[in-house]
Chains A and B, each alone.
Chain A
Amino acid sequence: SQTIHQWPATLVQPVGSPLSLECTVEGTSNPNLYWYRQAAGRGLQLLFYSVGIGQISSEVPQNLSASRPQDRQFILSSKKLLLSDSGFYLCAYSGQPNTEAFFGQGTRLTVV
């Protein structure tokens, strides 16, 4: 069966520290992978999406970057966190051909 793992679930980081959130998918090959951020009381903002290894599309200019070192691994990173990076980050994937997207459980990031 297909599953998605995202960790950690919660994270408190000081301003200026680096960030690495990891997402892995099992049970499917060459998935589309997505990183979203959901601010409190707001919708899901697409940050990055990837249709293959090393292929990353950035949707909004920001302090974050994404990488896909393996087919089923998607990493969200930052070299120096800002207060404004606080939020709820969700990883998602969809199989090939384009089908339903499944979400990870999310990471609650608080930058202090």
Chain B
Amino acid sequence: GENVEQHPSTLSVQEGDSAVIKCTYSDSASNYFPWYKQELGKGSQLIIDIRSNVGEKKDQRIAVTLNKTAKHFSLHITETQPEDSAVYFCAARDSWGKLQFGAGTQVVVTP
């Protein structure tokens, strides 16, 4: 079955710097890769996603890249702000609908 690994587990960045979180997956049949942001009291919200037929997707300060050959995908946050502090989860879903998550990355943006 699918196994998703996520690194790093914690990430501390200065406000204005970039943050990068990397995930690898094991099932080559996975075709959808979402990223979720989890904040206390706000639940888990989708921030960006990418499908296997796309190599890169960008939405304002957030971008995701996918390397299908290497089976890894990354989240990039530029010009980080204090409100970017949260736990971020990557996930991979196969064609059967099974959605597996990484272990999460605690991002702390310091002023």
Contacts and interface: CB of A to CB of B under 8 A. Distances in A.
Interface of A: 32, 34, 36, 42-46, 49, 51, 57, 59, 90, 92, 94, 98, 100-106
Given A98-B32, A101-B99, A106 B43 contact: yes
A90 B104 contact: no
B93 A98 contact: yes
Contact of B104 (A32, A43, A100, A101): A43
Nearest to A106: B43
A105 B44 CA distance: 8
A45 B32 CA distance: 18
Interface in B45-59: 46, 49
18 contacts: A36-B101, A43-B89, A43-B103, A44-B89, A46-B99, A49-B99, A51-B97, A57-B98, A59-B1, A92-B99, A94-B93, A94-B97, A98-B97, A101-B46, A103-B44, A104-B43, A105-B43, A106-B43
A90 B99 CA distance: 13
Contacts, number: 55
Interface residues of B, number: 23
A49 B97 contact: yes
Interface of B: 1, 6, 31-32, 34, 36, 43-44, 46, 49, 89, 91, 93, 95-104
Contact of B101 (A43, A51, A98, A102): A43
Contact of B99 (A43, A94, A106): A94
B43 to A, nearest CB: 6
Contact of A100 (B1, B43, B49, B97): B49
Given A43-B102, A94-B97, 18 more contacts: A32-B99, A42-B104, A43-B6, A43-B101, A44-B44, A44-B101, A44-B104, A45-B101, A46-B98, A46-B101, A57-B98, A94-B93, A98-B32, A98-B93, A100-B34, A103-B36, A103-B44, A105-B43
Contacts of A92: 99
